[in-house]
Structure 1
Amino acid sequence: MGDIEERLKAEAARLGFALSGIAPATDADGFGRFAVWLDRGFAGEMSYLPKLRAERQHPRSVLDDVRSVLMVGLEYSGVRSAEFGIRSENETQEKGETSSTNSPSAVPHSEFRTPHFGRVAAYAAGPDYHRYIWDRLNALAAWLEEQVPGSRTEAVADTAPLLERDFARRAGLGWVGKNTMLINTRRGSFFFLGAILTTLELAPDPPATSSHCGTCTRCLEACPTGAFTEPYVLDARKCISYLTVELRSEIPVELREPMGHWLYGCDVCQDVCPWNRNAGERTVAFPHDPELAWLDPIELLGLDADAFRKRFKKTSLFRNRRPGLLRNAAIVLGNIGDSRAVPALEQALTDSEETIREAAAWALAQICLRSGG
């Protein structure tokens, strides 16, 4: 195959992918763990996961005759944990300290910078990442087929039954941390994963064979809803990202207050990770829109269907549709407890969507309790 591997990685870098590596197309290493995770019910209402359970065992379900998988990572703007005074595991151990989120320096204070607004996860503060990555993956796949006529490829970005983190680890991009995120020692974890499946037999890269989490448990301790049942195991049903994005029905009452200011997604387990402290040195290709990072929940409650579509159609936030985002906005207002939100919440009680009406009623009750009414 000659130098095709190096040229392929160079082309990936030109297209904005900061990470790239090649893995052999064999059974996914973590398929057994994934099956157990499904059996424990941790997928919640994400029915597409058990539906395509068997297909995730081997990438041939995505591309017949696949022989190699090129995994790539595209970085996005994440919070620099150095802002919170977080040191790396090595620095902590050198000073004879233990890892704990009991220290105020280990808790991200960014959520309090705009007290009356709701926070959006970093990956969603920009254009729809699916389309952004697809365009570049498809260009990379077309380049490879042009370089090697007769070869076939399939581009994947969170859209096919592929256990992407398994192949990313096998391709040397990083290890799966205790927060279940793929972590790279140089890049942290604020990056999207994408894959190019190919019928070519490409030379694989050395896999990541060890974890660098050490004794650190900051991510587990910082999770507002206690979504980690144990290290490396996430109960999605309690995860704020699942609650605010994937869940279409009412959010369980006991999980609402822990949601805090999160309108869409959650970055807490990444914000507190020491491996993200050097985020400022990363190569961020994904466009960041600061106007999407923090949103006014009162303003959101005033959006009708047309206004919602116009504002969010080209973003990831459109995925949750109007009922989900406005439901989240009402809960955030209940957590903020500001009486200035009462008129907007009272108007939301007349909304045609039951989930919005129910969340608004809960928020009004919270504000009333806080005001002593």
Structure 2
Amino acid sequence: MFNTKEKYAQIIKTQAKNLGFDFCGIAKAEFLEEEAPKLEAWLNQNYHGEMAYMANHFDKRLDPTKLVDGAKTVVSLVYNYFPESTLPNAPSDLKIAKYAYGKDYHFVIKDKLKTLLQNLQEEIGEIGGRAFVDSAPVMERQWAKKAGLGWTGKNSLLLNRQMGSFFFLAELIIDLEVTPDSAMTKDYCGTCTKCIDACPTDAIVESGVVDGSKCISYFTIELKEQIPQAMKGKFENWIFGCDICQDVCPWNRFSKPHQEAEFLPHQDLKNMTRRDWEEITQETFNRVFQKSAVKRTKLEGLARNISFIKE
């Protein structure tokens, strides 16, 4: 027979599956002791570049009890975004990361997490907690690994044996004590270095460590100033984000198309040619990216990225 904590774990996983999450893992909410020196070293190397927010809330990043009063459990969830077909149509066309094809994942998944918490409250009783989707100082990959959902790839992303890495991670931090899953301790990358070898800006400085300030995603999304001239000719037509290290990863041969209608690309985006991108107007930008993560760069940022590749 299940004890109460095991029963809660079963309920959480069943409810998560019913909402379309591909995997759900559970970890005890506690201080991430192993991660503290790694995070400190990463920040000291200035691998966060202009992303000053990465240096904020150091303690909160490592301790979920500082984010949620009375936190006992971190529920980590995986949600697939791998598309049925890859944009663009021609090799010379400009590219955006697959995660940005459809509606902004923050909204889609946050709604699901709120529903999950409500469903758990109805089935179990009063539960306090918060939902997180890449929007607060939560070390999501580390928690997912602790919850047994995968291991850290050489490109620093979480890799899962069943589905690779084209998925979003999200968390529910709750004050309910639940039987945790076993952490993933094995690394299935072996001697493969395809992601390191393929990165055109040499952003992967060592296994599992990415210099964020050299990543194409950083230059095209986070950096607000001009892109350094030293990066000329290295972007391989990426104008928002980058999937190179994921595209070459052998584990992504297990990726299967998502079933989320909200992640389908706008019809106009599907048909955009290089010329369409180069001549994009505010009106087109607003229409095509109305609910998209691409809105983060605004038209000015996107135009800067396009002209950087064009020059």
* TM-score, with length taken from structure 2: 0.91
Q: Do residues 325 (structure 1) and 278 (structure 2) align?
A: no
Match of 2:124 among 107, 130, 148: 148
Give the match for residue 31 of structure 1: 36
Q: Do residues 170 (structure 1) and 174 (structure 2) align?
A: no
Deviation of 1:196 (Å): 0.5
Whether the 8 Å contact between 1:227 and 1:236 is mirrored in structure 2 is: yes
Q: What is the CA deviation profile of residues 35-58 of structure 1, one whole-angstrom value per residue up to 9, with x for unaligned ones?
A: 210111000111111122222110
Whether the 8 Å contact between 1:27 and 1:58 is mirrored in structure 2 is: yes
SS state at 1:71 partner = strand
**Inter-CA distance 310–79: structure 2 relative to 1 (3 Å threshold):** closer
Q: What is the CA deviation profile of residues 103-145 of structure 1, one whole-angstrom value per residue up to 9, with x for unaligned ones?
A: xxxxxxx899513420111111111111011010111011112
Match of 2:265 among 272, 280, 289: 289
Match of 1:12 among 16, 22, 29: 16
- Compare 212-221 and 24-33 and name the one that shifted more: 24-33
- Compare 53-62 and 295-304 and name the one that shifted more: 295-304
Match of 1:58 among 38, 57, 63: 63
SS state at 1:26 partner = coil
Whether the 8 Å contact between 1:79 and 1:271 is mirrored in structure 2 is: no
Give the match for residue 137 of structure 1: 113
Aligned counterparts of 1:63 and 1:138: Cα–Cα separation in 2: 15
Q: What is the CA deviation profile of residues 156-215 of structure 1, one whole-angstrom value per residue up to 9, with x for unaligned ones?
A: 000111111111000010001100010001111111000011000000011101111100
Give the match for residue 171 of structure 2: 195
Q: How many residues align?
A: 304
Residue ranges of structure 2 left out of the alignment (5+ in a row):
none
Match of 1:120 among 93, 96, 110: 96
Give the match for residue 77 of structure 1: 82
Aligned counterparts of 2:253 and 2:96: Cα–Cα separation in 1: 20
* TM-score, with length taken from structure 1: 0.77
Matched residue type, 1:169 = K
Matched residue type, 2:231 = L
Aligned counterparts of 2:109 and 2:277: Cα–Cα separation in 1: 28
Percent of residue pairs bearing the same amino acid type:
36
Residue ranges of structure 1 left out of the alignment (5+ in a row):
81-109, 335-362, 364-373
Matched residue type, 1:331 = F
Aligned counterparts of 2:273 and 2:290: Cα–Cα separation in 1: 18
**Inter-CA distance 34–161: structure 2 relative to 1 (3 Å threshold):** same
Whether the 8 Å contact between 1:121 and 1:293 is mirrored in structure 2 is: no
Whether the 8 Å contact between 1:119 and 1:294 is mirrored in structure 2 is: no
Match of 1:299 among 251, 254, 276: 276
SS state at 1:258 partner = coil
C-alpha RMSD of matched pairs (Å): 2.1
Give the match for residue 45 of structure 1: 50
Aligned counterparts of 1:212 and 1:224: Cα–Cα separation in 2: 24
Whether the 8 Å contact between 2:88 and 2:94 is mirrored in structure 1 is: no
Aligned counterparts of 2:11 and 2:249: Cα–Cα separation in 1: 33
Aligned counterparts of 2:188 and 2:143: Cα–Cα separation in 1: 18
Matched residue type, 1:276 = N
Whether the 8 Å contact between 2:88 and 2:95 is mirrored in structure 1 is: no
Greater Rg over alpha carbons, structure: 1
Which residues of 2 match residues 328-339 of structure 1 at below 5 A? 328-332=305-309, 334=310
Whether the 8 Å contact between 2:129 and 2:174 is mirrored in structure 1 is: yes
Which residues of 2 match residues 191-230 of structure 1 at below 5 A? 191-230=167-206
Give the match for residue 359 of structure 1: none
SS state at 1:70 partner = strand
